[in-house]
Structure 1
Amino acid sequence: MDLSRILKPEAVKVIANVTSKKRLFQELGEVGHSIYAFPANEAVDALQERESLGPTGVGHGVALPHARLRGLDSVVGVFLRLDRRLDFDSVDRQPVDLVFALFAPIDSGVEHLKALALVSRTMRDAKICEKLRANDDPATLHAVLTELQPARAA
């Protein structure tokens, strides 16, 4: 599994003026709907439900919200780089600016966990996060996220 199979180039965005976690989830749902054709409102509800179990802000300015949705055939991703950091109730209490959301089929099981582990490993890499924060071009951000994936996944 590599990120280029999970994350389409058009699902990478730079977003300004997100002022709340709810609005962030709405953005994720809207991008997911436009790219992967799942219902935006169901995605928002599923993200909020998952977040109520515990925050998905993993620290160092990174959040990995994820949810399971009906109608998906495979795990898909949306990446947002926020222009302004957002309070996210992260484990280190730091605001986030890098958000990689995963949406998985209801019955995905191991596939969802493998994708989450891959995204987590990728986003823990300080050099990758530095490159993501230094670029505003979605195509460049996608390239940073998807380059050398097989080597990192091993």
Structure 2
Amino acid sequence: MQPLAQLLTPERTACQVPGLSKKRLFETLARIISDDQLSLSYDEVFSQLIGRERLGSTGLGEGIAIPHCRIGNCSQPVGTLITLSEPIEFDAPDNQPVDLVFALLVPEEANQQHLDTLASLARLFSQKDFCDQLRGATDVATMYELAVSARAIAS
């Protein structure tokens, strides 16, 4: 089992981010990740996230999205958690706009780990109470604590 704390840091957590489109969300995710993970460039992170999204929406439904990709120069899984002040269109299966986003980057060769972690994240974010608590958080510290205190996810 891999605790969410191994994927996430306070620096890669953002609360009630205003005024984003889907493209701006991916730009924001790339900026947050590349600022915290110096081995990962903004351009590479943005390009890989957008490239994966073009294959099909990473929206899960219920206002949740888990954008994800495999990426070179990534030595271990990296997560970023964002709540949005206003939901955005995301082409989710239920056509609901998204306001809760967890981005996941994994090493290029981590095929099974990628799938296992995605499945665990999907289970975690399917818990309505957990998502409601994250959406209700008004600061990064609270949001981060809620996230890392959630039950462990499989690695």
Shorter-chain TM-score category? over 0.9
Select which of 98, 101, 106 maps to 2:100. 98
Select which of 37, 48, 51 maps to 1:49. 51
RMSD (CA atoms): 1.5
Distance 1:126 1:103 in 2: 24
Greater alpha carbon shift after TM alignment, 39-48 vs 56-65 = 39-48
Report the counterpart of residue 89 of structure 1 in structure 2. 91
- Residue ranges of structure 1 left out of the alignment (5+ in a row): none
Report the counterpart of residue 61 of structure 1 in structure 2. 63
Percentage of identical aligned residues: 35
Report the counterpart of residue 112 of structure 1 in structure 2. 114
Post-superposition offset of 1:148: 4.0
Task: Tell me the TM-score normalized by structure 1.
Answer: 0.93
State the SS of the aligned residue for 1:142.
Answer: helix
Runs of 4+ in 1 over 4 A off after TM superposition: none
Report the counterpart of residue 39 of structure 1 in structure 2. 41
Report the counterpart of residue 5 of structure 1 in structure 2. 6
Report the counterpart of residue 133 of structure 1 in structure 2. 135
Report the counterpart of residue 125 of structure 2 in structure 1. 123
Deviations along 1:42-97, one digit per CA (max 9) or x if unpaired, are 11111111111110000000000001111011111011100000001111000000
Post-superposition offset of 1:9: 1.8
CA contact (8 A) 1:2 1:118 kept: no
Distance 2:43 2:11 in 1: 20
CA contact (8 A) 2:30 2:42 kept: yes
Count of aligned positions = 152
CA contact (8 A) 2:4 2:150 kept: no
The residue identity in structure 2 corresponding to 1:90 is A
Deviations along 1:7-52, one digit per CA (max 9) or x if unpaired, are 112110021111x211110000000001112111111111111111
- Residue ranges of structure 2 left out of the alignment (5+ in a row): none
Report the counterpart of residue 146 of structure 1 in structure 2. 148
State the SS of the aligned residue for 1:77.
Answer: strand
Task: Tell me the TM-score normalized by structure 2.
Answer: 0.93
